[in-house]
Amino acid sequence: MLTMPPGFGSARRKQLLDLPPLGVKGRTERAREALAARGADALVVTDLTNIDWCTGFTGSAGALVITTDTSVLVTDSRYRDQAPAQLDAAGSEAQVRIDSATFDTVAECLGGATKVALEADRIVWADQRRLSEALDAALIATTGLIAELRSVKDEAELVRMETAADIVDAALRDCRHQFVPGVSERDLALMLEDQMRAAGAEGPAYDTIVASGPNAALPHARAGARRFVEGDLVVVDAGAVVDRYRSDMTRTFVVGKPDDQTAEIHDIVTRAQAQGVAAVRPGLEAQEIDRVCREVIAEAGYGDAFVHGTGHGVGLDIHELPALRRGSTAILSPGQVITVEPGIYLTGFGGVRVEDMVVVTPHGCRSLTKYPKEPVCQ
């Protein structure tokens, strides 16, 4: 039977009260500098998470116009009160325009801009055509302009992410007695999420993965009705949200005593992951972390069983820049938060993934996730 520990989360809820304030001062100016480097004199931001990062606005509709000397958030009347209050609290320089005809107002705010950058992977075709018809300006497709700026976190962002990681560490510790025959994947996932919320998290950072037995061979399996049996590998991939910022961690457990192959692949993945984390440092190409992890697994004879990239950035979104995979030319920088998560997946048998979320420091990295990596819980 699943039981909630008494008094769970009270200390961690208190921790949430001590979070330093988030501020966006200077972010719009950084966006202008990146914009100038791309040869444009205005930017229309349509990705809502990018708008949040730039201004502090968390509404579900809007566009942000950044020119060489102004910034304007255009949204509708639902956010008449919320938008000015959030921008003021965050220290945003942006003005607010309330108008249901969003893109007509966007075109007006662009004024005399001659080269307008659009978020090519976010703006829809109809809105792009509307701006093209309304403006006497060249439209420039950009990708990653705000995302690259977002990848480097400030101290207030890091505190929120580490708090989210602490909540998951604690929730998993309090669930360790549940890795026994008869408990279902869905039961464990729900308990983890309940405990995250009890500790003050807004909720899970993504659909919590609990994958047991042969399901553990599926990197993004959904928690289902399958019940644990003796000898199962159980992959648990969980994150929490604290004040909009996310955490990400994976551990792999064994129900009962591991057999030889289970112990072998868990050891290989744990070694690969440790070497990947040890390699993290500023100035390194992100793909090098992937190479280090992949080499350990390939040398052990399981190269074909490592079927995904080694990691990714985390922040307001669970998947951000940089990508840690083959071919990634991104250079690691201090303040970036990344995952290192190699795995081995054997169809019909199960799988192992071990993941930490680390922040790049001036001389290496620091792990924000701290739960032990030993596979046996009893």
User: What is the phi/psi pair of residue 245, to 5°?
Assistant: -95, 145
Q: Is residue 102 part of a domain?
A: yes
286 plus 360 within the same structural domain: yes
Give the Cα separation of 116 and 162 in Å (integer).
37
What is the tally of structural domains in the chain? 2
The tokens for 54 are 């730039």
Q: Which residues does the chain have with pLDDT short of 50?
A: 1-8
How far is CA 197 from its chain centroid? 18
Q: pTM for the full model?
A: 0.93
Query: Which pLDDT score, from 0 to 100, does residue 358 have?
Result: 98
Q: What do you get for the CA distance between the two ends of the chain, in Å?
A: 16
Q: Domain boundary residue among 107, 135, 150?
A: 150
Q: Is residue 178 part of a domain?
A: yes
The tokens for 229 are 């049996």
179 plus 129 within the same structural domain: no
Q: Is residue 358 part of a domain?
A: yes
Give the range of the structural domain holding residue 85, as residue numbers without chain letter: 27-150
208 plus 253 within the same structural domain: yes
For 149, other C-beta atoms within 10 Å of its C-beta total 17
178 plus 303 within the same structural domain: yes
Residues 73-87 have pLDDT tens digits of 999 999 999 999 999
Per-residue buried b or exposed e for 84-116, using 16+ beta carbons within 10 Å of the residue's own CB: bebbeebebbbebbbeeebbebbbbbbeebeeb
44 plus 191 within the same structural domain: no
Q: Is residue 377 part of a domain?
A: no
In sequence order, what are the residues at sequence separation of 6 or more whose Cβ sits closer than 8 angstroms to the Cβ of residue 18? none
Query: Which pLDDT score, from 0 to 100, does residue 204 have?
Result: 98
Q: Is residue 120 part of a domain?
A: yes
Q: Domain boundary residue among 127, 150, 173?
A: 150
Give the Cα separation of 90 and 70 in Å (integer).
17
Residues 318-356 have pLDDT tens digits of 999 999 999 999 999 999 999 999 999 999 999 999 999
Q: What angle do CA 65, 67, 68 make, to 5 degrees?
A: 160
Give the Cα separation of 340 and 77 in Å (integer).
43
Query: Which pLDDT score, from 0 to 100, does residue 101 have?
Result: 74
118 plus 56 within the same structural domain: yes
CB 113, CB 67: distance < 8 Å: yes
Q: Is residue 331 part of a domain?
A: yes
Q: Domain boundary residue among 134, 150, 166?
A: 150
Q: Would strands 115-119 and 138-142 be described as parallel, antiparallel, or unpaired? A: parallel
